[in-house]
Structure 1
Amino acid sequence: MPATDDAEPRFITRAGFANVRAEYEQLFGSERPKLVETISWAAGNGDRSENGDYIYGKKRLREIDRRLSWLARVMKAARVVDPSAQEDRGVVRFGATVELADEQDERRTVTIVGEDESDASAGRIGWNTPVARALRGARVGDERMVTLPAGERSYEILAITYPAG
């Protein structure tokens, strides 16, 4: 889970916010009540020190409560941005899908999304990652240097698209 920083808004797409809300509602409305019922049943079975259902249930309940707390903070701090409303579609901003080529002409497509919805394996990179920071404000044909743990890399912007409104 990324840390929350209350000083900076947490940009997120509508879809990302909907996913956070759905997870919260599923945990709070379904999974947590079932778990409380299981723990209550297990507690009524006597010795709790060797009661696996009770011990596991309490541990899982703490995990769920931590996750619910984190999801609530994300929703409270979220600033929902609609990438399809981007007026200047020729510039890389939040929500842009960018096709890049590195020095070896290896191509890669990334979509810049909120930190809470990023998934690098699916090509969704967080707004504050080194690559996204380097791409902000770029236009097609621009070249940007990115400092990565493996060293510096140069990327050329081949295409910029935004979702349809």
Structure 2
Amino acid sequence: MGTKLITREGYNKLKQEHDYLWNEKRPEITKIVSWAASLGDRSENADYTYNKRLLRQIDRRVRFLRKLLPVLSIVDYSPQQEGRVFFGAWVEIENEAGDVKKFRIVGPEEIYSERKDYISIDSPMARALLKKQVDEEFVVQTPEGEKLWFINAIEYPKGDAALDDTGFRPLRG
């Protein structure tokens, strides 16, 4: 694995997952497997079979995370990013039809979470957005052809509690 970009939040989430699996979940499942094995015949023991499979899944995920975490490069907010789209930005865009989308540009390891408003830095949309500014138009190549979009807003999380769950500061009336 080469170096991969990730946000600090994404890194912390993967680290927490590793720690939970290794320190809490795995010992719990290991106890169940040991108990089920002590009952005798393992071939028809559903507790043993199921939890042994679960233990293999946990071990596989832990191995993956242990290989991944050292090669991740955390990208934090930098004041030089203000006004332009870079890694970690929350972006609001609009197309000619008036469709509005809000999403955050993150590393490929982060888009598989429960968040549906994250896109990978490797996606065509993110690549087309890089280094663009608010009020700038840009074109994205799609399977249906070129699509024109307009940038409405760019925000960067700065550990600011004033940001809502979309990453944008609420408008004050």
TM-score class, shorter: 0.7 to 0.9
Distance 1:65 1:136 in 2: 37
Distance 1:151 1:121 in 2: 27
Partner of 2:85: 92
Distance 2:150 2:62 in 1: 41
**Residues 14-93 of structure 1: matches in 2 within 5 Å?**
14-83=8-77, 85-93=78-86
**SS of 1:61 mapped into structure 2:** helix
Tell me if the contact between 1:135 and 1:144 (Cα under 8 Å) persists in the aligned partners. yes
**1:61 to partner: Cα distance:** 0.8
Tell me if the contact between 1:97 and 1:160 (Cα under 8 Å) persists in the aligned partners. yes
Q: Given the two structures, how large is their TM-score scaled by the length of structure 1?
A: 0.87
Partner of 2:97: 104
Q: Given the two structures, how large is their TM-score scaled by the length of structure 2?
A: 0.83
* Structure 1: stretches of 5+ with no match in the other structure: 1-5
1:149–1:53: structure 2 CA closer, same or farther, 3 Å change rule?
Answer: farther
**1:148 to partner: Cα distance:** 3.3
Tell me if the contact between 1:113 and 1:124 (Cα under 8 Å) persists in the aligned partners. yes
CA RMSD of aligned residues (A): 1.8
55-64 or 146-155: which moved more?
146-155
